Structure 1
């Protein structure tokens, strides 16, 4: 599976099966350490089938990351009642973001993107578009709706979305990535979430 050999992903009957196997291998072995043989074995497919779907390992990795990010984002949207009061929606959104960035998957994918950024300069940008940018765009959509309802007063929706995400993350991921801590307590999450929402509404609440 030569990196950069082809930019086309082909879908087929065993596509999801291949993704599931690749997800396990990438998370356990990293991008560089992930072997085609092991991915095919975990997926229960032949190497020929794997190559036919993904002739480029980078494409396979990005497809795994995108699929999980979209799944997490869709799941978050389904759980949040966007018609609820703005404070309630913001708290729910903050909690969903925190769960993903501090999850085992979220941390491992972040580490892999950073580790491979020099070898594949576009990797980080592609991950950003499929993950953080997706959340950002959905926040912007909600902010615009809330502004129309008179619950928020925002001039720069892009900046407001960036600020809200930054407030919700605080230094959670940094502490976990650098192994300053090995887990985050619910009390710590609540403290950060409540402060993030309070600060955001102090600035943008109508």
Structure 2
């Protein structure tokens, strides 16, 4: 039976797991094991049997929590990327030093984007998205879209306060993130060169800030 097909026992779908603390801990155990297997073998190379083995659970227990490999990968993606967006894009809209706020965000963002495990995740999702578009959508919605939405909300507040002049803060948010990662993520996806150094990160973000404020800085009185 294929790992990407729904599993049914005696014609009935597996029941959902209970929601008590022990069951949540078991789910966490499964997700941790799945992360190891997906990163090591990619989506296509991973199997539910191997995930169960690494997670230290039976294959039957694994299927109680996740019907198939696609749903397991989707759950892992949503949990990790949503949590990451909350941490990376925790922005104080009342801080008047916009340059400092965006510089800190840009540097933290670029450090994460250059991590080998993140690059591997992006490659894996790209490889699986053609066959399973839902995986690409889940990754995009939980990570890039959430982060850009949080940055947009911050930029909205800065426009209201007169600290920035932006017509479309959604586009501006994406511009800033793209400027920060310019020339870095693309080469890493193709396994060209090493992770960016702190000096390279600082220079990239410095250039991003300069271009961003040239386009969106406050208008002269």
Runs of 4+ in structure 1 over 3 Å off:
6-12, 80-83
TM-score (norm 2): 0.85
Q: Which residue of 2 aligns with 1:27?
A: 39
Q: Is the 8 A contact 1:101 1:173 kept in 2?
A: yes
- Distance change (3 Å), C-alpha of 1:144 and 1:8: farther
Instruction: Provide the residue aligned with 2:137 in structure 1.
Output: 125
CA distance in 2, matches of 1:178, 1:9: 42
* 1:151 paired to 2:173: no
For the Cα contact (< 8 Å) 2:78–2:142, is it kept in 1? Answer: yes
8 Å contact kept, 1:18–1:45: yes
TM-score if structure 1 supplies the norm length? 0.91
1:69-128 deviations in Å (ceiling 9; x for gaps): 1222222245x5443311111111112221222112210111011111221123212211
Contact 1:82 1:89 in 2 (8 A): no
Shift of 1:151: 0.9
Q: 1:171 to 1:58 in 2, by over 3 A?
A: same
Secondary structure of 1:131's counterpart equals helix
**C-alpha deviations, 1:16-58, integer Å up to 9, x for none?**
1111110111011111111212211221211111101111211
Is 1:73–2:89 an aligned residue pair? no
More deviation, 185-194/58-67? 58-67
User: Number of paired residues?
Assistant: 205
On the 8 A contact 2:85/2:147 being kept in 1, the answer is yes
Counterparts of 1:58 and 1:91 in 2: how far apart (Å)? 37
Q: Is the 8 A contact 1:73 1:135 kept in 2?
A: yes
Q: Does 1:48 align with 2:38?
A: no
Does residue 1:83 correspond to 2:84, yes or no?
no
CA-atom RMSD in angstroms: 2.1
Q: CA deviation at 1:8?
A: 9.8
- CA distance in 1 between partners of 2:89 and 2:182 (Å): 22
Structure 1: distance between partners of 2:192 and 2:59: 40
1:139-178 deviation per Cα after TM superposition (whole angstroms, max 9, x unaligned): 1110011111211111111111111111011021111121
Unaligned runs of 5+ in 1: none
Aligned to 1:97: 109
Aligned to 1:204: 216
Distance in 1 (alpha carbons) for counterparts of 2:122 and 2:15? 23
2:186 & 2:15 partners in 1: Cα distance? Answer: 33
Gaps (5+ residues) in structure 2?
8-12
